[in-house]
Amino acid sequence: MNTILKLTLKFTLAVVIIFSAATLISDSVDIQGISTEHLSAEKPWVGADEYQYDPGQTVTPEKTLSSKVNWAILVFVVLMVLVLANAFDISKYTAKITGRETVNQNNVNKWIMLFFMIAGFAAVIWEYQTHGAMILLNDSSSAHGVDYDSMFTITLVLTTIVFFITQALLFYFSFRYAHQDGRKALYYSHNNRLEVVWTFIPAVVLTVLVLRGHQTWKSVVYAEDNYNGKMHSIEVFAYQFGWKARYAGDDGIMGNVDYKFISGKNELGLAYKPEVDSLVVDLKKQIAADEASIKNLNTTILDGLMADFTAAENLRDYKNMESVQKEIDAVKNGDRLDELKASIKRKTKQIERILAIQNDKKLFASTFTSAAMDDIITQEIHLAKDSLVTLNFRSKDIIHSAWLPHFRAQMNVVPGMPTKFTFRPTKSTEEAKKERGEEFEYYLYCNKICGVSHYNMKIKVVVESQEKVNEWLKSQQPAFIKREMAPVAPAIMNDTLKTSTDTIQKMVVR
Ligand SMILES: [Cu+2]
């Protein structure tokens, strides 16, 4: 009976190990390959509108091999466990029969402790050697970033020293003072001196670290106070899923903005009177269209949907049939009517709010200045090397986070709450390319998971001389007044076509 119970337990243990390990392995294989769950087999891009499908990223032979190797390791480990368990059993039975202990378990445990200490330290040293360069960067491209990096290094060095001392003591004591027959442990309840030492030293060290951090933080937040050079101010606008930058035009003044003015043609909601007027006209047109839809909902619109359904039915287009059926249901159960009513209400409210500004003389004068007219909206951020720049963040929809890893800068971008970050870039793109390779570019990334295309939400950042920044700004078209542009030379044209979607988008905007 006892043996059967033991065998069952062993078997269950083996099954649990195999299954959990198999799950881990299959997960890691999935991460290496591309997840294809959301893609249909025939047209891999269907249902993946925002994903850039790259057929080259399917599972390669090496990955299949690596999964085979993983399975071999797993089988080996399971067999080893079973062998050890049996060896342990045999020794126990021998002890029972002979009446003497064959293996001293306390001895075994103390040597295992020593082994763990050495193996653990070896693993830590390996980790530092292999990935240390990724943690201890010391290659910041901004003035304050140098402080960040040095604080990180100091903290890591201190914690590493503490780690080695405490772990060595922990494992060595377990080894040295393993149980011995006849030896009694010393009862040692309290030592004031020891208490003081191990409270005081960490307190002093942590205080020094925190004060240094506070000092650095102050220098970042009040960077403008100790700076005499030319200050720059750029607006960085976040939306699902991208960024836009806004520079003051030739007048050097940033125009006003208001979320109520945002439209397809005025993405940043600039206070430019003619554009806002045309938005009001557009909204009125849309309200009229919505009203017409309400009127014809149960007649022509429903008839049209019925006809669509029959057409889809004849083609046996089940997918389309399903979606048309949903629309028919929405018309019949009143959902569509509610949507239209809500849309009218929303647009009416927007018009009211815009008119409230327009009709208030004081508000009107302060909002609609001429400053917005020549503001420049760009698809890249160009910064002057060694000049202090403030990025003023605004979000159109939800919370994003602007992350400039190479400049050690990050700031939340919150709708309805202006945020900013001031820093001084000290390494130009050219210089960074020399260190990191020709392919390198600075980017500002979104660092807050904000939806399906979050992973691709970034904007290129270029650090160059002030003259080059000015030159680049001259080549950009202002938002609402058109500037005479020199024709694009063919060589540059070819280059532009070669580069990615960023540039193509830029061309479309132009
Ligand atoms: Cu985002």
pLDDT of 32: 40
Residue 65 has pLDDT above 80, yes or no: no
Report CA(457)–ligand 1 centroid distance (Å): 6
Question: Per CATH, is 230-252+372-509 categorized as 2.60.40.420?
Answer: yes
Ligand 1 centroid to residue 425 C-alpha, Å: 23
Percent of the chain with pLDDT over 90: 35
> Averaged over 379-406, what is the pLDDT?
93
The confidence score (pLDDT) of residue 492 equals: 44
Q: How far is ligand 1, taken at its centre, from the CA of residue 442, in Å?
A: 17
In this prediction, residues 391-403 reach a mean pLDDT of 93
- Using the mean position of ligand 1's atoms as its centre, give its distance from the Cα of residue 340 in Å: 30
CA of 395 to the centre of ligand 1 (A): 9
Burial of 14 (0-12, 13-18, 19+ CB in 10 A): middle
Q: Is the pLDDT of residue 27 over 70?
A: no
- Residue ranges per domain, the chain? 1-103, 230-252+372-509, 273-367
Q: What is the pLDDT of residue 2?
A: 66
**Where is average pLDDT lowest: 180-189, 195-204, 237-246, 393-402?**
180-189
Residue 111 alpha carbon to ligand 1 centre in Å: 52
What span, in angstroms and rounded, lies between the C-alpha atoms of 296 and 289?
11
Contact assessment for residue 142 and residue 408, using Cβ atoms and an 8 Å cutoff: yes
Query: How close is the Cα of 35 to the center of ligand 1, in Å?
Result: 22
Cα(82) to ligand 1 centroid in Å equals: 50
Percent of the chain predicted with pLDDT > 70: 84
Place 412 in a pLDDT band, splitting at 50, 70 and 90.
very high
pTM score over 0.95: no
Q: Give the tokens for residue 382.
A: 């160009």
Residue 213 clears pLDDT 50, i.e. is over it: yes
Name the average pLDDT for the chain: 82
Q: How far is the CA of 463 from the centre of ligand 1 (A)?
A: 23
Q: Do β-strands 376-378 and 442-446 pair in parallel, antiparallel, or remain unpaired? A: unpaired
44 pLDDT band (50/70/90 cuts)?
A: very low
pLDDT classification of 284: cutoffs 50, 70, 90: very high
With a CB cutoff of 8 Å and minimum separation 6, the contacts of 139 are: 149, 435
Residues with beta carbon < 5 A to ion ligand 1? Answer: 400, 446, 450, 457
Q: Write out pLDDT tens, residues 455-504.
A: 999 999 999 999 999 999 888 888 887 766 655 544 444 444 444 444 44
Cα of 400 to ligand 1 centre, how many Å? 4
Sign of CA dihedral 405, 409, 410, 415: negative
Checking if the pLDDT of 128 tops 50, the result is yes
* Ligand 1 centroid distance, CA of 239 (Å): 7
Q: How far is the CA of 490 from the centre of ligand 1 (A)?
A: 36
> Which region among 5-14, 24-33, 121-130, 492-501 has the lowest average model confidence (pLDDT)?
492-501
- Output the CA 446–ligand 1 centroid distance in Å: 5
Q: Is the pLDDT of residue 51 over 50?
A: no
